[in-house]
Amino acid sequence: MKELELKYGCNPNQKPSKIFVNDGRDLPIRVLCGKPGYINFMDALNGWQLVSDLKRATHLPAAASFKHVSPAGAAVGVPLSDTLRKICFVEPEAHLSPLAAAYARARGADRMSSFGDFISLSDVCDAATASLIQHEYSDGVIAPGYTDEALAILKEKKKGNYNVIEIDPDYRPEAIEHKDVFGITFEQGRNDLQIDGKLLENVVTENRDIPDDAKRDLIISLITLKYTQSNSVCYAFDGQAIGVGAGQQSRVHCVRLAGSKADNWLLRQCPKVLELEFVPGIKRADRDNAIDVYIGEEYEDVLRDGVWQRIFARKPEVFTKEEKRAWLDGMDGISLGSDAFFPFADNIERARKSGVSYVAEPGGSIRDDEVIEACNRYHMAMAFTGIRLFHH
């Protein structure tokens, strides 16, 4: 198939719309179910590149949850603890293949942002992964293949209209890419940078010890940033992104945004949150929203208005600022990547509040010394990669 006509572009008024390969080759994708749109394919193709890079760098199955052309979550197939199973809504007895574990982590990183996402999988989708996808609200999935059982499960979603895309894993695009803006064509070399441990060799802090798990997490962070709308930073831990801040004009605002998402992921593991009791039959999205409100500053308003009775089986105690701060103060070992240099030390000050111990950024700011000094103050290890990862 040379081209695929789409319903419309980014918005319903943007017609006609289609996808094709500029050099006249056949499209490297097949639509097995549904009718994906313009934004679906933007998410799918960016996500496919991300998980392919993760698989290549870590040799583990990888998954990503994309929303509006930036990842809400990305992860590799590291087994889940009982606590992570609970916050990812995975049943204790559910079988998790490595790919299913990667997907559960990617979806569980920022569940509110992942609502209505597009999923990317590095490996052939198996039944274990499809069974997890089956219960989540999602627009579609892209993978290099599907087992018969997995495809049957996915074709049942959305009354048979769930978007399922198969991509040729051997497809390689041209080295030069083009993009039209306002009738003007931009041309550049495709960003085929291979991200691996070599980018972490230039450690510039007094603490030069970056353990292997932290190196893996920094690599996950940097690969995630390669496909995140800039400015962007990514917090990562235990084989997954836990907070992605995308498209911010100020870097410290980006660090704060991603840090608040990382904090949310960490606080969801606090016993006070894990012990919340919900009314029977509540939908997953409503649970996600309720947990977010409970962790946030709005919960006292919910208690005052009596709304909690529609959500919780019993009235939860207020999760105080002091309790939340005490829980976060006990966190450590988080990795943070940045797609460009940190211009001020305030970024490090904010990162430390979310348990960051390891940092990777390009370096090159006139205030590098101040940033390094801040890292030294908190005994962080920081590597200068020398590589910027802007994505637009």
3-class secondary structure, 136: coil
Q: Which of 40, 46, 55, 67 is catalytic?
A: 67
Q: Does the annotation mark 68 as catalytic?
A: yes
Ramachandran region, residue 382 (left: φ > 0; alpha: ψ -120 to 50; beta: rest): beta
Task: Considering the candidates 2, 159, 198, 392, report the single residue annotated as catalytic.
Answer: 392
Query: How many beta carbons lie within 10 A of that of residue 326, not counting itself?
Result: 11
In angstroms, the Cα distances linking 312 to 282, 289, 294 are 9, 12, 11
Q: For residue 135, indicate whether it is catalytic.
A: no
Q: How far is CA 128 from CA 84, 102, 103, 109, 168, in A?
A: 17, 11, 10, 19, 22
- Let me know if 67 is a catalytic residue: yes
Helices (H), the chain: 38-58, 82-87, 98-108, 127-134, 148-154, 212-226, 251-267, 271-274, 284-295, 299-305, 321-329, 346-352, 368-377
Helix, strand, coil: what percent of the chain each, to 5? 35, 20, 40
Q: Which helix (H) or strand (E) holds 22?
A: none
> Which of the residues 40, 46, 231, 347 is marked catalytic?
231
| Among 202, 200, 174, 198, CA closest to 188 | 174
d(CA 210, CA 366): 25
For this structure, is 40 an active site residue? no
d(CA 144, CA 150): 13
Alpha-carbon gap, residue 309 to 110, rounded angstroms: 25
Which position among 68, 158, 353, 391 bears the catalytic label? 68
The dihedrals phi and psi of 96, each to the nearest 5 degrees, come to -120, 110
Residues that are catalytic = 67-68, 231, 392
